[in-house]
Amino acid sequence: MIRTSIRRAVVPGIAALALALTGCGAANDDSGDNGGSTDSASAGASLSGELAGGGASSQESAQTAWRAGFQSANPDVTITYDAVGSGTGRENFISKAFSFAGSDSYLDDDEGQLSAAAERCGGEDAIEVPAYVSAIAIVFNLPGIDSLNLDAKTLAQIFDGKITTWDDPAIAALNDGVDLPGTKISPVHRSDDSGTTDNFTDYLSKAGDGAWSHDPDGVWPIKGGEAAEGTSGMVAAVKGGEGTIGYADESQAGGLGLVSVQVGKEFVAPSAEGAAKALAVSTPVEGRADVDMAMDIDRTTTESGAYPVLLASYLIACQTYDDAAEADLVKGFLSYIVSDEGQQAAAEQAGAAPLEASLAERAAGIVGAISAK
C-alpha cells in the first residue's frame, strides 16, 4: 500500500506541478488595462510592494473599487483587504497584523482600544478618517406599495413589536391616501453583530422620542422575531415574506419598498447625498486628537434634505510607520481613498455617499501627513 499510495500520489502530484509551472499568472494580469477601472490615481510617484489591511465588511465593495483604482495606477502594488469584520480589523491593526483597518465604529476606550492603538502607533494618536458613508434604507415588502412615510417614533414602535399591523392608525396618519393592508408586520433584524444594526438602533434611540428604550448596540437587543444573517440575508428575508420590514445598505435595497423618514417637517427618502449631508452637520467626538475625525452622527437633525439613518465607516491608520515603504503605501492608498476620484469610484461601484468637500479636505490633510519615522 505504501508503494501504491506513493504511486497514487505521484501521478496527480506531477500533473499539478506541471500545471502550476505552465499556468503562471491569471490571463488579465499582464495586461494593465481592465474594464471599468480608472486610469490614474492621485499618487504621483509609482509605488511598489504589498499592503495588508482589513476590517469592516461594509467597506468591502468600496475597497474593491479603491484597490482596483489604486493598483491600476501603481501596477506593482498589491493591496489586500480581509473583510473579517470591524472588531477583528481593529484587533489586527493593534497587533500590527494590518497596516490599516476599516471599522464601522470609531475607537473608544471602553475596552482600552483607543490607547492600545496609540501604543501600536509608537505613542502617537491613531488616525481615524471617515471613508465610506452609506445610507441605511428601511425596506419593506408589501405588494403594490413602493414607499411609505414614517417617523422615528413609529419605526421604533414597529421594530419593538408595539405596532403589529400595517393598517395601524399611527402608520395611516403619516400616509394619507395610501391603501394600507391589514397584514401582520414582521420586523426583520440582523442576527449577526453589525455596524448597520448599531447605527440603526442608535437612530431609533436618539430620534425615537423615547419609544425605543434599548441602548444602541451592534447586537439586536430584543429577544424573538425574524432575524437574518448579513445584508444579503436581510434582503432575502424581507423579499421572502409578506409584511416584512427591515434595514439594509441603500445600495442593496433594489426591488423593495423604501421608507422615507421624517426629518424636521419633511420626509426624506434614503439617498447617498442625504447621508453625506447628515454626516457633514454632525459633531466631532470631544477630546479627540487633530488627526482623529471620529464623529457622533446627529440623528435628530432638521437640516433640509439630510438623511440621518446612515453608517459612517472609518479608516484607522498610524501617523508614522517604522518602515518607509509601508508609510508610502498607506499614505498613497488612503490619500487616494479620500480624494475626489476615490470617493467617486466608491459611489459608482459600491453606492457609497461621497464625503462632503470640507470633510474630504480635512481627511486628505491628515492622511497626506503620514510619514516614515
Partner 1 sequence: MSTTTPLEPDTFAISANLAQPRLPRWAVVLVGVISLGLAGLVTLLTGWSLVGGLVLAILLMVAGLPTWSLLVEGRRAAADRFATALVWAAFAVVLVPLVWLIWMVVDHGLSAIDREFLTYDMRNVVGSGGGIYHALWGTILVTLAATVISVPIGLFTAIYLVEYGRGKRLARATTFLVDVMTGIPSIVAGLFALSLFVLIFGPAIRIGFGGAVALSLLMIPTVVRSAEEMLRLVPNDLREASYALGIPKWRTIVKVVLPTALGGIITGVVLAISRVIGETAPLLVVAGATDSVNFNLFDGRMMTLPVYIFSQYSSPGVVPVGMEGDPPGYARAWGAALVLIVIVMVLNLVARIIGTYFAPKTDRRR
Partner 2 sequence: MSVTAPPQPRPAKAVVRPGDRIFAGAARVAALTIMLALAGVFVFLAIEGLPGLSAPAHIYAPAEDFWSYVGPLVFGTILAAVVALIIAVPFSIGVALFISHYAPPRIAAPVAYVIDLLAAVPSVVYGLWGGLALASAIRPVMDWLYENLGFLPFFAGPPSVTGRTMLTAGIVLAIMIVPITTAISREVFAQTPRLHEEAAMALGATRWEMIRLAVFPYARSGVISAVMLGLGRALGETMAVAMVLSASPVVTLNLISDTNPATIASNIASNYKEATPDKQALLIATGLVLFAVTFAVNFAARWVIGRSERNVAR
Contacts to partner 1 by CB under 8 A:
1-4, 8-9, 12, 16, 20, 23-29, 34-37, 50, 52, 54, 57, 60-61, 64-65, 67-69, 71-72, 78, 80-84, 92, 95-98, 230-232, 251-252, 254, 345, 348-351
Residue 201 sits in the site that holds partner 2 (CB under 8 A): no
What residues from 92 to 151 belong to the interface with partner 2 (CB under 8 A)?
Answer: 104, 110-111, 113
With CB under 8 A as the contact rule, the residue among 47, 73, 84, 268 that binds partner 2 is: 84
CB of 50 to partner 2, least distance (A): 23
Q: DSSP 3-state helix, strand, coil percentages of the chain (rounded to 5)?
A: 40, 20, 40
DSSP H stretches of helix in 229-304: 230-240, 272-280
Q: What is the largest CA-CA distance in the chain?
A: 82
- Work out whether the CA dihedral 355, 360, 363, 368 comes out positive or negative: positive
| Closest distance to partner 1 from the beta carbon of 288 (Å) | 26
Question: Does 368 interact with partner 2 (rule: CB under 8 A)?
Answer: no
The count of other CB atoms within 10 Å of the CB of residue 364 is: 19
Contact status: 195 vs partner 2 (CB under 8 A)? yes
The alpha-helical segments, DSSP class H, found in the chain are: 2-22, 60-73, 86-94, 113-120, 152-159, 169-174, 195-207, 230-240, 272-280, 324-338, 340-350, 357-368
Question: If we measure between CA atoms, which residue out of 317, 284, 303 comes closest to residue 90?
Answer: 317
Contact 368, 336 (CB under 8 A): no
Q: How far is the CB of 163 from partner 1 (least distance, A)?
A: 31
CA distances from 219 to 40, 55, 99, 202, 222 (A): 41, 18, 28, 12, 9
Residue 181 in contact with partner 2, rule: CB under 8 A: no
Q: Are 201 and 216 in contact (CB under 8 A)?
A: yes
CB of 236 to partner 1, least distance (A): 10
Least distance in angstroms from the C-beta of 108 to partner 1 = 22
Q: Are 297 and 310 in contact (CB under 8 A)?
A: yes
Q: Is 205 in the site for partner 2 (CB under 8 A)?
A: no
Which parts of 46-65 interact with partner 2 (CB under 8 A)?
57
Q: Does 219 bind partner 2 (CB under 8 A)?
A: yes
CA-based torsion, 44, 47, 53, 56: positive or negative: positive
Q: Spell out the alpha helix ranges (H) of 229-323.
A: 230-240, 272-280
Minimum distance between the CB of residue 92 and partner 1, rounded to whole angstroms? Answer: 7
Residue 88 within binding range of partner 2, rule CB under 8 A: yes
137 vs 140: CA distance, rounded Å: 10
Is residue 224 involved in binding partner 2 (CB under 8 A)?
A: yes
Indicate the residue among 198 and 341 with the shorter CB distance to partner 2.
198
Window of 23-31, 79-87, 266-274, 283-291 that interacts with partner 2 by CB under 8 A:
79-87
Q: How far is the CB of 62 from partner 2 (least distance, A)?
A: 17
**Binding-site member from 99, 244, 252, 260 for partner 2 (CB under 8 A):** 244
Q: Is 229 in the site for partner 2 (CB under 8 A)?
A: yes
Q: Is 26 helix (H, G, I), strand (E, B) or coil?
A: coil
Pairwise CA distance, residues 174 & 160, whole Å: 19
- The 10 Å Cβ neighbour count of residue 26 is 7
Q: At what angle do helices 113-120 and 86-94 cross, to 10 degrees?
A: 40
For residues 60 and 226, which CB has a smaller minimum distance to partner 1 in the complex?
Answer: 60
Please identify, using beta-carbon distances, which residue of 4 and 283 lies nearer to partner 1.
4
Of 60 and 356, nearer to partner 2 (C-beta) is 60
| Residue 1 binding target from partner 2, partner 1, none, CB below 5 to 8 Å by type | partner 1
Binding positions for partner 2, rule: CB under 8 A: 57, 84-88, 91, 104, 110-111, 113, 184, 186, 188, 191-195, 217-219, 221-230, 233, 236-237, 240-244
